[in-house]
A and B are shown apart, each in its own frame.
Chain A
């Protein structure tokens, strides 16, 4: 056992550190900040779903906000009209949205990438007005207000034992989100390293070649849609839980764009990418309206410009710049830097012989 731990690749240590960080984080920050980070984790789950679809299977969806809306409303309606425990509705919302996504993926098979983008974009634009229509069920324009759950006894006592303070509702919700995020990221990690992930990447890189190699194209493409929608549904349900409120205007087109920005900025087809992208996409609008104006070293002119321009300009500019200069996002940049650094460090010793050192990964 000890041998296995000592021999674990460095990335496992990195994962351990990140998990520990997220578990311990709420004990040192305020309850309000914990609720903000819960939102970022929710966004990370939705972006992970989008990443499986766009990054790994190569199908572009601009309408993932619509799937989030479906998950959120499923959870809210079950909790509000059918008096279910809201935490128990999360898997139901995920499964239902996943099923809808799977069914949606069937006609999507016939569409080229461009038409799929177009249809899903139209879906995202229409979603708010579609939600308003069955007003008896969805609460129309007013939406549905939900009561946030209190932390259960075991969590209360465990948290109290560790930190000596009482656990707030926001912190409990944070831990629910973290729990879901951990499971879903672990699931995604395993998915992309095994048969379905290889099949999806093969389809993305060359559909005809993949079909010739015996990959079930239709099956894996719809599967990717279903899994992706499942993630979005879970994220939507958590979103309803964390904000305690759902309304049609919670799910505008810009939410779908925000998800895409997160996926692209973090790095498509990578596992840490969605987490980094979500942190960027969630905190950028908040920081650009709060942090930038509070800094005295930034000239007033620029600060007020950034504040007034809102996140849209930054989102748009970042999206374009990343796509042109760093198509693999933050993860791609870090990886490129790591490789360059590694080559420099190891290469320096062998410069006299001119021999490239072997890659430690393959030894």
Chain B
């Protein structure tokens, strides 16, 4: 029982990371109906920026917000330069462009920082504390707290500020918002920046666990896809619930199903995606898609 709870707790910690990246995917999906295949690579590049800042002597807690700001800027620039020219293009074009972006960013990171895995510092010690018989490391606890704070911040921003309101308005009804004086295109840029910053958190949180290298996010993005699909790809709350569920499921499957073990955990993510898409394509919290013909 104790071992089981142990697995659940570490599943929640890793699930918080998936939830952040899934939330980034949801933000962009809500803004323009697109799954951003480059989200993982954007987070990876941001993590490399954080690494560069920290290794130049900046303290972790200063480098963290600085990285988020830079990631935000990077997201806006990407939207302005790459996405804006094809904003109205068919979805096929957009998906191919984000894939190109993913390949480009991956190659750039490999070119600038090399493919040798680096250890990334964590702000929290690896010591464990005893919490009602379950040992939990400060590192896991820190990941849970930081992810929780980020998710809360995004929620407050979207639901309780004017910027959040305009963002949601621009996404839901671009024409009407434009008539009301909302600069829809810039709102898309803002959405991309926000998503990049939220994704960067997941990268910084996961880097101490996985070692930092250009392909670091390749498996995490699959789990984030699974989380977003499970929660319903347009629901921020769904991304959080989905992320935690996927984290716990994958961890438990790795520990208790001998066939899965350590090396087929990623296949569990794929299985979640496929099962959800076939049985309940709108996920747990998504609305049924309706289409006017």
Question: Chain A: residues with CB nearer than 8 A to chain B?
Answer: 54, 58, 60, 62, 107, 110-115, 117-119, 121-123, 125-126, 129-130, 132-133, 208, 253-254, 257, 260, 264, 305, 308-320, 323-324, 327
Chain A residues whose C-beta falls within 8 Å of the C-beta of B33 in the assembled complex: 114
Count A/B pairs, Cβ under 8 Å. 134
B59 CB, min distance to chain A CBs, angstroms? 32
Partner-binding segment picked from B91-99, B172-180, B242-250: B91-99
- Tell me, yes or no, whether B133 is within 8 Å of chain A by CB: no
How many angstroms from the CA of A257 to the CA of B103 in the assembled complex?
8
Q: Please tell me which one of the listed residues A122, A305, A313 contacts residue B270 in the complex, with CB atoms under 8 A apart.
A: A122
CB closest chain-A residue, reference B266? A126
Q: List 25 A-B contacts (CB under 8 A).
A: A60-B92, A113-B92, A115-B229, A122-B270, A123-B270, A125-B219, A126-B222, A129-B263, A129-B264, A133-B264, A253-B218, A260-B96, A264-B96, A309-B107, A310-B110, A312-B104, A312-B110, A313-B111, A316-B104, A316-B106, A317-B104, A323-B86, A323-B93, A327-B89, A327-B93
9 nearest interchain CB pairs?
A316-B104, A312-B107, A319-B100, A316-B103, A313-B107, A320-B100, A309-B111, A126-B270, A122-B270
Chain A residues whose C-beta falls within 8 Å of the C-beta of B93 in the assembled complex: 323, 327
Partner-binding segment picked from B141-149, B205-213, B274-282: B274-282
User: Known: A110-B281, A310-B111. Contact between A129 and B266, CB under 8 A?
Assistant: yes
When each residue 259-293 of chain B gets 1 if its CB lies under 8 Å from chain A and 0 otherwise, what string results? 00001101101100110011001000000010001
User: Known: A309-B111, A312-B110. Contact between A122 and B225, CB under 8 A?
Assistant: yes
Q: Please tell me which one of the listed residues B91, B97, B293 contacts residue A320 in the complex, with CB atoms under 8 A apart.
A: B97
User: Known: A129-B263, A257-B99, A257-B103. Contact between A118 and B92, CB under 8 A?
Assistant: no
Chain B residues whose C-beta falls within 8 Å of the C-beta of A107 in the assembled complex: 274, 277-278
Question: Chain B: residues with CB nearer than 8 A to chain A?
Answer: 33-35, 37, 82, 85-86, 89, 91-93, 95-97, 99-108, 110-111, 218-219, 222, 225-226, 229, 263-264, 266-267, 269-270, 273-274, 277-278, 281, 289, 293
Given contacts A113-B91, A320-B82, 11 further A-B contacts (CB under 8 A): A60-B95, A118-B273, A119-B274, A126-B267, A126-B269, A130-B267, A132-B263, A257-B103, A309-B107, A320-B100, A324-B82
How many angstroms from the CA of A352 to the CA of B24 in the assembled complex?
61
CB <8 Å contact, A111 and B103: no
Chain A residues whose C-beta falls within 8 Å of the C-beta of B97 in the assembled complex: 319-320, 323-324
CB closest chain-B residue, reference A257? B103
How many angstroms from the CA of A70 to the CA of B93 in the assembled complex?
28
B259 CB, min distance to chain A CBs, angstroms? 8
How many angstroms from the CA of A123 to the CA of B92 in the assembled complex?
18
CB closest chain-A residue, reference B108? A313
B94 CB, min distance to chain A CBs, angstroms? 9
Q: Please tell me which one of the listed residues A125, A305, A320 contacts residue B101 in the complex, with CB atoms under 8 A apart.
A: A320
Q: Please tell me which one of the listed residues A114, A119, A132, A208 contacts residue B273 in the complex, with CB atoms under 8 A apart.
A: A119
How many angstroms from the CA of A114 to the CA of B277 in the assembled complex?
11
B36 CB, min distance to chain A CBs, angstroms? 11
How many angstroms from the CA of A320 to the CA of B98 in the assembled complex?
8
How many angstroms from the CA of A310 to the CA of B37 in the assembled complex?
21
A157 CB, min distance to chain B CBs, angstroms? 47
Chain B residues whose C-beta falls within 8 Å of the C-beta of A125 in the assembled complex: 218-219, 222, 266, 270
CB <8 Å contact, B263 and A315: no
CB closest chain-A residue, reference B106? A312
CB <8 Å contact, A324 and B96: no
Chain B residues whose C-beta falls within 8 Å of the C-beta of A119 in the assembled complex: 270, 273-274, 277
Q: Please tell me which one of the listed residues B34, B92, B225, B229 contacts residue A58 in the complex, with CB atoms under 8 A apart.
A: B92
How many angstroms from the CA of A309 to the CA of B111 in the assembled complex?
5
CB <8 Å contact, A114 and B107: no
Chain B residues whose C-beta falls within 8 Å of the C-beta of A115 in the assembled complex: 229, 277, 281
